[in-house]
Amino acid sequence: MSETPADGYGDDLYTEPPGDPDTLANLGPLRPLAGTWEGIKGDDHHPVAGGSERAVFLERYVLEPIDFQTNGPQLFYGLRYHTHINEMGKPETFHDQVGYWLWEPAMNTVVHTLSIPRGQVVVAGGTASPDATEFEVTATLGSPVYGISAVPFIDRGFRTLSYRMHVVVHPDGSWTYDETALLEIPDREEPFEHTDTNTLAKVADPSPNPLSLALVRDRGLDIGDLRHESGNLL
């Protein structure tokens, strides 16, 4: 008898499960993050020549639901996000980042992807219960899963050895992230901890994902009907 692979799925790589068109109802611990958020007291600790410095930043973080996604038997519900950051009092972009937050209900797994316009991408992952109000994702350089990749200059000058992001959802509906990128820099004897943290307050609710909107518009269905119809979508 063959063992179940480490990813938790069997030998069938192609059969897709039925998905629910209502993404917002299936995001597990990511549901509280859906919407548009702003934070005004972000803290960034980064390296500079001869040492380090801190920056206070303003952030706008938009997370909108996408239609469910499948990799054969693997099923994700997710949020597409864009976060834009400015240092306090400065008009130019300090940080810009896009990616996805994904929830895999079959494995109780959270996946976080990020891409920044300085030539670096990360896929990080972790586990959580569906009703968790706190979770963490991590990635490691050189790992074939949950890894880190960058352009040659970044890899030489500011090589990211590991990445960690911790999220806490608060009772008042706000949420806080605390992230650390461990950097290997040629002029430092020890790896440098590049950290960012912010607490975000909601300024707008999310829009429904495209599939649920289309079904409501074309068939006049409510959310309960959407779930009933999900078996006919594949």
Domain of 189, in residue numbers: 23-207
CATH number of the domain that residue 83 is part of? 2.40.128.20
Q: How many domains does the chain have?
A: 1
Indicate whether 14 belongs to any domain: no
pLDDT the model gives residue 155: 98
- pLDDT tens string, the chain, 234 residues long: the values are 457 788 889 999 999 999 999 999 999 999 999 999 999 999 999 999 999 999 999 999 999 999 999 999 999 999 999 999 999 999 999 999 999 999 999 999 999 999 999 999 999 999 999 999 999 999 999 999 999 999 999 999 999 999 999 999 999 999 999 999 999 999 999 999 999 999 999 999 999 999 999 888 877 645 445 444 444 444
Indicate whether 232 belongs to any domain: no
Indicate whether 46 belongs to any domain: yes
- Contacts of the segment 38-43: beta carbons below 8 A, 24+ positions apart: 38/200, 38/201, 38/203, 39/198, 39/199, 39/200, 39/201, 41/198, 41/199, 42/85, 42/196, 42/197, 42/198, 43/195, 43/196, 43/197, 43/198
Indicate whether 11 belongs to any domain: no
Indicate whether 103 belongs to any domain: yes
Indicate whether 93 belongs to any domain: yes
Indicate whether 114 belongs to any domain: yes
Q: Rounded to two decimals, what is the model's pTM?
A: 0.91
Indicate whether 13 belongs to any domain: no
